[in-house]
Amino acid sequence: MANPMLIYRCEDLSVLFFIKDMFTDVPNISVVDSFPEEILTIPTISIDAGKLKEESFELGNRDRIRIRTWYIDIFAKNKSQRDDFGYRILDQSKNGINIYDYNEGFPPDVTPTRIEHMDILSISYEPIPVILDEVQPKYFRGQVILVTQNDTVNGG
């Protein structure tokens, strides 16, 4: 049997599917699990996990809380699309993000079990100026930064 996926990777995938589900109504959008080396499809949203910090939950207890940073980069066709995507992520992240056990499989074939939840500690959106040359496709960029904390404590 293969090694089970660790909770950290389940969190990564849960954020990816959370963002993918948020944009199912947008035709031809690409949602990817890392900053793209090349922007081949506009619009694209990339999700990159940043800093991960674990802290003790209680003195003398092995339970830990995880504080994580997520960088969600938006590459859009125009300023309005970029801002609409950024605002949508801000608005739909208010209730946090459920974490699923992807050891069970992946959508659409499997609906994994919810195993944890991450609260949003902070969220920000920033339009990013893009300097383009003639070779690159024209796009507008923005970034959402999420800082999350698991609110379901596991043994560490």
Domain ranges (residues) in the chain = 7-155
> Domain 7-155 belongs to what topology?
STM4215-like (3.30.2000)
Q: What's the confidence (pLDDT) of residue 61?
A: 57
Q: What's the confidence (pLDDT) of residue 32?
A: 95
Q: Each residue's pLDDT tens digit in the chain (156 positions)? A: 467 889 999 999 999 999 999 999 999 999 999 888 877 789 999 999 999 998 876 655 556 789 999 999 999 999 999 999 999 999 999 999 999 999 999 888 999 999 999 999 999 999 998 776 655 667 899 999 999 999 865 543
Question: Between the CA of residue 7 and those of 4, 13, 66, 68, what are the distances in Å?
Answer: 9, 10, 10, 12
Q: What's the confidence (pLDDT) of residue 155?
A: 41
Distance CA 99, CA 93 (A): 13
